[in-house]
Structure 1
Amino acid sequence: MDENYDMLAKCLYGFESVLARELRNLGAQNVREGVRNVQFKGDKGFMYKANLALRTAIRILVPIETFTLRTEDDLYQNLSRISWEKYLDENATLAIHSSVHSEIFSNSHYVSLRSKDAIVDYFRKKYQKRPSIDLKHPDVQFDIHIQKNTCTVSLDSSGESLHKRGYRTDTNIAPINEVLAAGLVLLTGYDGTQNFVDPMCGSGTILIEAAMIANNIPANINRSEFAFEKWPDFDEELFALIHDSLLKKIRNTDKKIIGFDKAPSAVRKAQSNVENASLEEFIKIERKNFFEETSPVDRNVIVVFNPPYGERLEVNVPVFYKQIGDTLKQHYPDTSAWLITSDFEEGLKNVGLRTSRKIKVFNGKLECKFVKYEMYSGSRKTSKQS
């Protein structure tokens, strides 16, 4: 039986508590929230499970060494003392990702280069041969994180970012990241026992993530590979066991998951992505204009949408957001409506509804707010501005 060891799951800002809850529900031990990350303990099988099942994790790291830095040269010297043959051999390929928050180093690319020098020099001195660099498809990927004077060296068990689920082939302008979409859906409290609507669905990412949550489908079941599959100690039998056990927990929701968009190209792309995810049975997508339609579901519904904002906005902002508020008031009674936007002043204030929650999140580098409107029927409607 493998022993438990420390791991770290990276996430987007604002989703630490959501990821921590996911980890606890999966069975992680000693879960501790950080900033854009959550630390936890688990064994090799749990590391496989975390990569397959976590919806809000960007990557899963396995720390192998931590040391203190006082000078630039300390990085090379400390890395030279690690027994690198435990993790790769001289014929393997590697890549290094670095992140730096320190006065000693200011450039993460430089840290990656110095770290690469230390590793290849180690092999050259000991074996007269050195591993090669392959930034696109390495055998082993390392993560170097420097926080002030502390350097942590980790194995990256995921490889490509876990937002690359494998189902999305068609996208529109500025598509929402799959991990962000899943996190937003989970923040609403959606669990598949409610009906779900995305009235500006774009390429369908929010709908697909909602359907996967509703049916308890592992987030990364469609991915073609993970970095740990190339590790020397990869246990194919154990991975297959974990994979199959997760598939057995899939359930079928009987609630509606509906999306629409006014652009024919968006509808086609969304339908194509839904097919790639094998979710046609659960998601209905139609060409409709949100501003001209009533809610397709009359009760127990959560509405989540990602309207145009920031760089992709080609509308009159005050008028557009006022239309959003008017449409929700007139056509979406008894609804919990959520939207994400970076247009705080010109946008949100013109919705004309009181927000019951505001959560700070980021869409790429854009600071956004994810806001909730509780829509009531009859006299409980409100037009008080947030």
Structure 2
Amino acid sequence: MGNNYSMVAKTLFGFEDILADELRNLGAMQVEKGVRSVSFMGDKGFMYKANLCLRTALKIVKPIRSFRVRNEKDLYDGVYNIPWESFMSVHQTLAVDAVVHSEKFNHTLYVALKTKDAIVDRFRNKSGKRPDVDLKHPDLKISVHIQKDSCTISLDSSGASLHHRGYRTATNIAPINEVLAAGMLLLSGWDGQSDFLDPMCGSGTIPVEAAMIACNIPANINRREFAFEKWGDFDPDLFEKVTESSLNKAREFHHKIYAYDKAPSAVRKTKDNVHNANLSEYIEIEQQDFFSTEKNVTGKLHMVFNPPYGERLALDMERFYKGIGDTLKQNYPNTEAWFITSNMEALKHVGLRPSRKIKLFNGRLESKLVKYEIYEGSKKAKWQQ
């Protein structure tokens, strides 16, 4: 128990429950949900595993000190009094990132600057030298979180946001964030037990995340680096063990994932990204216009997609959404279809009643993840069987 410490996984609005489930399934202790975050306990190996395996986390931070702040002097003193020399050497670089919800502090950049000053001053006063700031590739990334008059200083173990999985080199106009894609799939109940279709796959993010879930492949296995690899206490042997044991939990997938897009450029990008993720054997990519397709598998089909938004493409929204509803109703019996949209007006034209609506955000756009159950024949006939 002595080696366990408290950590916080940050996520997108609406994913707190599934992230908490992911953490419990990985073996985290004392899992507690917050807003856009879940706190938990674990040891160093678990921190490596959380970064490697969590699909719906954006960052894993390790809090090192909390204190009260009423003014900027409290902030400076609180940060100055942390033994920074035990976390980094004077020859290493740092970067500070701040999130502030407080009436006393209203400028995140100023808070980040004040924090950086306190750390640098401590080194200068102790050793006569000061560490440099490197905003792009720091050796130590520090997070400051001020909520009212409480300040928490954490070390960011992830570095770049965990949605940068490492497989996506080619993107289309507005690619969906990988964490958002994975969260939508988990919310939809996707578990790899049926065939899957993304009929408007863009650059292939949803099919790749769907294949990784189906095969239980660690979400960030293709990522080039994590911030914790630059920490003084980094244990490469332990990290290798964690990676190996996570990969050993991969499983076979006995169905097929289909990815359609009507744009040849999107099909090319999807092929590149699927290849980068080493998932070509699981994903069949075709140039198809969804509106002229029909279901090509027997049994249940699971569908999750991100239709184009009016913001980024000139579309007749009313006709487009009516087309989605008509195609599902006429050509896709025994299908569970989920999609995300921020266009609530257009949703009315689908012509089907969603059985679920979940509020999410796609970037800054408030969106709904909606579910449509398409039965074989009419719904009435189903209940009379």
TM-score by length of 2: 0.97
Shift of 1:310: 4.4
Shift of 1:296: 2.4
Q: How does 1:163-174 map to 2 (within 5 A)?
A: 163-174=163-174
Q: Check whether the contact 2:102–2:147 (CA below 8 A) recurs between aligned residues.
A: yes
Show the counterpart of 1:196: 196
Q: Check whether the contact 1:310–1:342 (CA below 8 A) recurs between aligned residues.
A: no
SS at match of 1:176: coil
Q: How does 1:111-126 map to 2 (within 5 A)?
A: 111-126=111-126
Q: Check whether the contact 2:98–2:144 (CA below 8 A) recurs between aligned residues.
A: yes
Shift of 1:368: 0.3
Shift of 1:79: 0.8
Show the counterpart of 1:74: 74
Show the counterpart of 1:358: 357
Q: Describe the superposition over 1:305-339 as per-residue Cα deviations: whole angstroms up to 9, x where unpaired.
A: 10011421310111110011000000111111001
Q: Check whether the contact 2:310–2:317 (CA below 8 A) recurs between aligned residues.
A: no
Q: Distance in 2 between matches of 1:307 and 1:237?
A: 44
> Are residues 251 and 33 of structure 1, via their aligned partners in 2, closer, same or farther at CA, if it must alter by over 3 Å?
same
Show the counterpart of 1:12: 12
Show the counterpart of 1:39: 39
Show the counterpart of 1:379: 378
Which moved further from structure 2: 111-120 or 297-306?
297-306
Q: Distance in 2 between matches of 1:30 and 1:283?
A: 37
The one-letter amino acid of 2:188's match is T
Show the counterpart of 1:255: 255
Show the counterpart of 1:178: 178
Q: Distance in 1 between matches of 2:209 and 2:2?
A: 32
Structure 1 unaligned segments of length 5 or more: list them: none
> Are residues 2 and 207 of structure 1, via their aligned partners in 2, closer, same or farther at CA, if it must alter by over 3 Å?
farther
SS at match of 2:162: coil
Show the counterpart of 1:93: 93
Shift of 1:379: 2.1
Q: Check whether the contact 1:329–1:381 (CA below 8 A) recurs between aligned residues.
A: no
Show the counterpart of 1:220: 220
The one-letter amino acid of 1:338's match is W
Shift of 1:2: 6.2
Q: Distance in 2 between matches of 1:381 and 1:315?
A: 34
The one-letter amino acid of 1:60's match is I
Show the counterpart of 2:266: 266
The one-letter amino acid of 2:177's match is N
| 1:288 and 2:288 matched | yes
The one-letter amino acid of 2:111's match is V
SS at match of 2:232: coil
Q: Distance in 2 between matches of 1:200 and 1:113?
A: 44
Q: Distance in 2 between matches of 1:146 and 1:353?
A: 45
Structure 2 unaligned segments of length 5 or more: list them: none
Q: Check whether the contact 2:51–2:220 (CA below 8 A) recurs between aligned residues.
A: yes
SS at match of 1:66: strand
Shift of 1:252: 1.6
Q: Check whether the contact 1:204–1:270 (CA below 8 A) recurs between aligned residues.
A: yes
The Cα RMSD (Å) is 1.1
